[in-house]
Chains A and B, each alone.
Chain A
Amino acid sequence: MRTLGLYLWKEWRDQRAIVYGIAIAAPLLLGLAALLLPAKVLRDPLFCSLGAAGCFAMVALSLAGDLLPGEARRETLGFLRRLPRGLGVAFVAKLVLLLMALVLLTAWGYLAAAMWGGPGGPIDHRFLPASLVVLWLFAVSSWLPRGALALPASIVVLALLGLPLWLLYDPAIFLVPRPQEVVAYVAFAGLISLPVAWLSFVRGYRFGRGPLSAAIHGLVASLVLASPLWAHAAYRSREWRSFDFESANCLIGGGVVGEGGRYLFLNAQMSGGNRPLHAIRLDLEAGAWQEVGGLGDFFAVWPYSPLKSVLLREHGSEQQDERNPGRIKYWCHTFDGASGTRLRSGWSNLAIQGAPHYAAGLGWRTHDGIRDPFRGRSYSCSDLDPRWTYFVRPGRWLAWNVRKLELYDPDTRERAPAEGINAHVWPRLVSDGRVLVGDRGRDEVALVDPESGAREVIHRPLANIVEVSAAVGLYGLFEGRRYRFARVGTRIDVVGDTPWWNCTTLATLADDSVLCILDYRRIVRVGADGVETLWPAQRR
């Protein structure tokens, strides 16, 4: 410690002119700024941070870049080299002096700004990455004959060290470092700069060597020491991109059913974070699956009927459609719904981008509108107010916008209030056009005619009911902790008693059975004969 004290004294004597200079210049410059700047700026807490940042930058530029190369420039390196303790203790003293000067003079700049300006606020968090640059500036400075080059060189070195991270992380698939990882990366990069600086100066300058040897030592050390950082990023990237459709952690978010019902085209992702989507073609007959797109590609979902052709939208391909101003087009791959084979690729603007007409009630959604089987005609999206969601039923449709539920005539576009139905709940239609409602006050489930408000109680006590397929009157029934499938007509008939808490409808098939995804994992067919699990395939 005594030796370190001696070297610290030596460094102080060597650098005190710079330290005194900054300590005197800071309040003078800030005072000058206080004379020139409007009072509003001075009262801003940012003024104190600017004072601190100014001193921080002055220390960084004047001290950090010159402490190590200054010895060679002043031809005093030989003296330090031949002392019994060599360059090691000199290095430690220089580092301690730099850190002390950074902390004390930054605080001095803050106080000086507070003296001229208003009350100070918290120090800006951008000091953390700035500290990283200063530490690397210190490390890299010994690689160069002149300290003036140290700042751009340190930025280049930091960019080189960060390049693998930039290549490994990919915001396009939501793979970005977590906030705690960013802090850890910055802290780690800051910490490794110290051994790099030590190796560059103490080992690099041994035996009469110069900046070139320091640079070689430093670069090799940087690459070796930064490798855990890159390894972690590579691990994260690999983990993020990894996918196993058969894993219990794989979640199936949705999909479509190909014509004939043999092939399902599913959008799946691994659980944990906002992992990228994977487009999966599942052959129910063979029990085999295949990933058919790139990372993030997904099938355009058109519930609820099996499709002749299926569109796979390529991730990141969206462009303005010059032929349809205001619309986006996507590069899509078309699959044959029945055979599952890829047919062609091309631009398509048929994908639903924030489409308002999500529900169709007892009708069918088409690529650009809604099909009403009761009126025997289709209605184009361009004729429908996109702020409302439409439910096709015999007679007038229902139009819903979360706050209001109205009867809507798509031919005349006239609206009328719907009677006896809570407008804040997603309307659940049964096949005769009535709406299924749960009444908490009366503890019952009833069917309400929105035209007349007539009410028919079909179930007691109250059960929570979710729509599975309005077309065939299939609903999910939640009673306490029991989740069941039920056909709802003029009464409730339970068709399957199987545990689940979330149900996503894939399609209603021609035989009135419904394909669903239960709990984002299990694919089932719910028919008149009960519930059959299709995936994961049952082990024989």
Chain B
Amino acid sequence: MSDLVLSAKGVTKRFGRRTVLDSLDFEPAPGAVTVLLGRNGAGKSTLLKLWLGVLRPDSGTVRVGGLDPGRHARRVRSLIGYVPDRPDVYPWMTAGDLFRFLAPQYPTWNRDAQARLGERLGVPLDRPFRSMSRGEGMKAMLVAALAPEPPILLLDEPFAGLDPVVREEVLKGLLSEFRAGEQTVVVTTHDLDVAARIADRVAVLSSGRIGEQGTPEQPQELLQRINAS
């Protein structure tokens, strides 16, 4: 259960003079799907990267399963499945190459899950990323994030730029693999419809802090409140 806990306490992160996160306190519900809403540049991706340990807070603490990602990067990263907002792997890599490259690095990598999900989403295994569509690339990245069956899944705008059909496929694939109570999922998105369909909890990031939190029935209301304030 402790592996599922993500937390950020008093976290401030600046890029140059711009403060992106300002004394942020946030702990997504363990074992549930939390959708993080916010405008562009609100700091949603930054927060995910802090948990992933690829960024470090200027002040405050972030913890993943009780561990400091900066100090226990290897352990923390093996707990997390991460999907970036766009495929950022080598253009010459095929999905097959990617899976072969990643599998030995994750002790929990499940080849059956990889095969099943890859087939379900129609991931082309032999085509390099440079000749995949954005949707195909994102599907491959989703399979790569889910195959290790990580206790924590961080999805950074995974549906952005996808056409509705592909978005539906990805969404269904994600929902089919999600193990309620066994996985903590944080998804950043602008899409209120997606939020309503997958979220157990919704949080809105504004002015560097979590402004509002609520249930998935309320995202529109939450956003309106944030905008009004």
Which A residues contact B (CB, under 8 angstroms)? 2-3, 6, 9-10, 13-14, 74-76, 78-79, 81-86, 206-208
Contact = CB atoms under 8 A, between A and B. Distances in A.
Interface string B22-57: 000000000000000000000000000100111110
Contacts of A79: 88-90
Given A2-B104, A3-B105, A208-B49, A81 B54 contact: yes
Interface in B49-103: 49, 52-56, 70, 73-74, 77-78, 82, 84, 88-93, 97, 100-102
8 contacts: A6-B100, A6-B101, A6-B104, A9-B101, A76-B89, A81-B54, A82-B52, A208-B54
B84 A208 contact: no
A93 to B, nearest CB: 12
A83 B77 contact: yes
A341 to B, nearest CB: 69
B89 A207 contact: no
A3 B82 CA distance: 20
A76 B88 contact: yes
Contacts of A6: 100-101, 104-105
Most chain A CB neighbours (cut-off 10 Å) among B70, B73, B104? B73
A76 B93 CA distance: 12
| Closest A-B pairs by Cβ, 6 of them | A207-B56, A84-B77, A84-B78, A208-B55, A81-B54, A84-B74
Most chain A CB neighbours (cut-off 10 Å) among B52, B53, B54, B55: B54
B73 A86 contact: yes
B90 A76 contact: yes
A207 B55 CA distance: 4
Nearest to A17: B92
A178 B124 CA distance: 63
Classify the secondary structure of A's interface with B. Answer: helix
Given A76-B89, A82-B53, A207-B55, 15 more contacts: A6-B101, A14-B90, A75-B88, A76-B90, A82-B52, A82-B54, A82-B77, A82-B82, A84-B73, A84-B77, A84-B78, A85-B74, A207-B53, A208-B49, A208-B56
Nearest to B46: A208
A84 B55 contact: no
Q: Count chain B CB atoms within 10 A of each CB in A10, A74, A78, A79 and give the residue with the most.
A: A79
A30 B82 CA distance: 50
Contacts of B93: 13
A82 to B, nearest CB: 5
A85 B100 CA distance: 15
Contacts of B54: 78, 81-82, 207-208
Nearest to B70: A207
Contacts of A10: 90, 101
A84 B49 CA distance: 14
Q: How large is the interface on B (under 10, 10 to 19, 20 to 34, 35 or more residues)?
A: 20 to 34
Nearest to B57: A207
A207 B92 CA distance: 26
A86 B76 CA distance: 11
A86 B93 CA distance: 19
Contacts of A3: 104-105
A74 B54 CA distance: 18
Contacts of B55: 207-208
Nearest to B102: A83
Contacts of A78: 54, 84, 88
A208 B55 CA distance: 5
Contacts of B52: 82
B104 A14 contact: no
B60 to A, nearest CB: 14
B216 to A, nearest CB: 28
A84 B105 contact: yes
B70 A74 contact: no
Contacts of A74: 90-91
A198 to B, nearest CB: 16
A137 B179 CA distance: 49
Contacts of A9: 101
A217 to B, nearest CB: 15
A67 to B, nearest CB: 14
Nearest to B154: A82
A85 B102 CA distance: 11
B33 to A, nearest CB: 21
Contacts of A82: 52-54, 77, 82
A207 B101 CA distance: 23
A14 B92 contact: yes
A299 to B, nearest CB: 67
A13 B100 CA distance: 13
* Residue from the set A2, A82, A85, A206 with the largest chain B CB neighbour count within 10 Å: A82
A16 to B, nearest CB: 10
B88 A13 contact: no
A299 B49 CA distance: 74
Given A6-B101, A10-B101, A84 B106 contact: yes
Given A78-B54, A207-B56, A85 B90 contact: no
Nearest to A14: B90
Interface in B102-116: 102, 104-106
Nearest to B15: A208
Nearest to B103: A6
A14 B93 CA distance: 9
Contacts of B78: 84
Contacts of B56: 206-208
Nearest to B74: A84
Contacts of B91: 74
A94 to B, nearest CB: 14
B92 A13 contact: yes
A206 B70 CA distance: 9
Given A207-B54, A207-B55, A208-B54, A83 B90 contact: no
Nearest to B91: A74
A10 B93 CA distance: 9
B88 A85 contact: no
Nearest to B69: A207
A74 B93 CA distance: 13
A355 B36 CA distance: 94
Contacts of A75: 88
A444 B197 CA distance: 123
Contacts of B74: 84-86
Contacts of B88: 75-76, 78-79
Contacts of B70: 207
A36 B150 CA distance: 63
B125 to A, nearest CB: 16
A9 B55 CA distance: 28
A228 B91 CA distance: 44
Nearest to A75: B88
A2 B104 CA distance: 8
A83 B101 CA distance: 11
A38 B53 CA distance: 62
Contacts of A207: 53-56, 70
A75 B82 CA distance: 17
A79 B144 CA distance: 12
